[in-house]
Amino acid sequence: MKASFFKYINTLQDQITTALENLDGSVKFIEDQWSRPEGGGGKTRVIQNGTVFEKGGVNISGVHGPLPKSMQDYFGVGEAQFYACGLSLVLHPKNPMVPTTHANFRYFELYDAQGNIQDQWFGGGLDLTPYYLFDEDAQHFHQVCKTACDQHDPSFYTTYKERCDTYFWNSHRGEARGIGGLFFDYLRPNTEKTAQQWYDFTTGIGDVFLDAYLPIVERRKNLEYNASHRDWQEIRRGRYVEFNLIHDKGTLFGLKTNGRIESILMSLPPKVQWAYDHQPRLNSQEARLIDVLKNPRNWI
């Protein structure tokens, strides 16, 4: 299972970075390979200062060894060996009319003293963070998510869409980070699904990431924008930073377990603003976005 999923994320990284390079047209991803002293490593691919993508990363990693103390405490287990691999991506487009996106697909194994699998689970999801909200983009993104979920279980879309809204919640602002998508975690073999079925589900969602996101980029990347649109984008990116550094378990986890800092923090946007008590104009596009973020919506 782990070899199979690791191969999957390697192939997915290639597919996604190739598609994004073709779409951008002007710059390529640079790749940094790194290894972890305790076991394993990763391939970080970063794109910067493109025509379409101002900054983005599509990273994979596969790490193993003794479970770090902080993760023992987090999972409520004692000393154990573990294996974890995953793909994680964040794309920050230049044009404020194009939304930021994030996706993650991961697999985890915990072993007993004999080296047998004691626990295993899949996790992941994808979500969209617009600066200017086009309803048809949100609907498209969620429809692709729903169609992919429905092939595995009729309850999945509703369940994981709600988990996404709950997880990506900037509680100190009382608003969502974006307009959501899917978020799932601890997908363990149980009476209803086998590990293989969770594998099929997780990779099934990975397979539709480009279908969910690329048509939106194509539609919006040539729209005109001015300095005021850009200011708004940079102010909203500040909220993205706030979520990732204050609330995101993945980010804080990486920082606490001696992860590769530059690979973890590649998620942070390239240019960001914080203005004191910024308020959008009444009835503006900007105010409408905030309203939707404060009251997550059903898009299907």
Minimal distance in Å, beta carbon 71 to a copy of itself?
A: 16
* Of residues 186 and 274, the one with the C-beta less far from a copy of itself: 274
Stretch of residues binding a copy of itself (CB under 8 A), selected from 10-18, 149-157, 203-211, 240-248 = 240-248
Catalytic-residue membership of 102 = yes
Minimal distance in Å, beta carbon 172 to a copy of itself?
A: 4
Closest CA to 53 of 178, 240, 214: 214
Six token digits for residue 262? 């530059």
How many residues in the chain? 300
User: Strand order in 180-187's β-sheet?
Assistant: 30-35, 40-48, 53-66, 81-93, 100-111, 117-129, 180-187
Residues with Cβ within 8 Å of residue 198, at least 6 apart in sequence: 121, 122, 187, 188, 189
Minimal distance in Å, beta carbon 212 to a copy of itself?
A: 25
Told to check if 55 binds a copy of itself by CB under 8 A, we report yes
Residues with Cβ within 8 Å of residue 42, at least 6 apart in sequence: 33, 34, 36, 59, 60, 61, 62, 63, 260, 263
Among 38, 112, 218, 262, binds a copy of itself (CB under 8 A): 262
Told to check if 23 binds a copy of itself by CB under 8 A, we report no
CA distances from 47 to 202, 208, 255 (A): 25, 21, 22
Told to check if 250 binds a copy of itself by CB under 8 A, we report no
* Of residues 71 and 148, the one with the C-beta less far from a copy of itself: 71
Minimal distance in Å, beta carbon 298 to a copy of itself?
A: 28
Binders of a copy of itself among residues 102 to 121 (CB under 8 A) are: none
Handedness of CA 123, 131, 43, 10 (dihedral sign): positive
Binders of a copy of itself among residues 151 to 180 (CB under 8 A) are: 172-173
Told to check if 274 binds a copy of itself by CB under 8 A, we report yes
Told to check if 27 binds a copy of itself by CB under 8 A, we report no
Beta strand residue intervals within 78-213, DSSP E: 81-93, 100-111, 117-129, 169-170, 175-176, 180-187
Minimal distance in Å, beta carbon 123 to a copy of itself?
A: 23
Name the catalytic one among 92, 102, 140, 142: 102
Minimal distance in Å, beta carbon 88 to a copy of itself?
A: 14
Q: Write phi, then psi, for 255 (nearest 5 degrees).
A: -70, -35
What CA–CA distance (Å, rounded) separates 79 from 228?
53
* Of residues 150 and 291, the one with the C-beta less far from a copy of itself: 291
What CA–CA distance (Å, rounded) separates 43 from 69?
25
Stretch of residues binding a copy of itself (CB under 8 A), selected from 14-22, 67-75, 198-206, 264-272 = 264-272
- How many residues bind a copy of itself (CB under 8 A)? The answer is 29
Told to check if 37 binds a copy of itself by CB under 8 A, we report no
Count other C-beta atoms under 10 Å from residue 121's C-beta: 18
What CA–CA distance (Å, rounded) separates 239 from 216?
22
Told to check if 290 binds a copy of itself by CB under 8 A, we report no
* Of residues 117 and 268, the one with the C-beta less far from a copy of itself: 268
Q: Which are the catalytic amino acids?
A: 102
Q: Interface residues with a copy of itself (CB under 8 A)?
A: 32, 46, 48, 55, 57, 172-173, 234, 238, 241-242, 245-246, 252, 255, 261-262, 265-266, 268-277
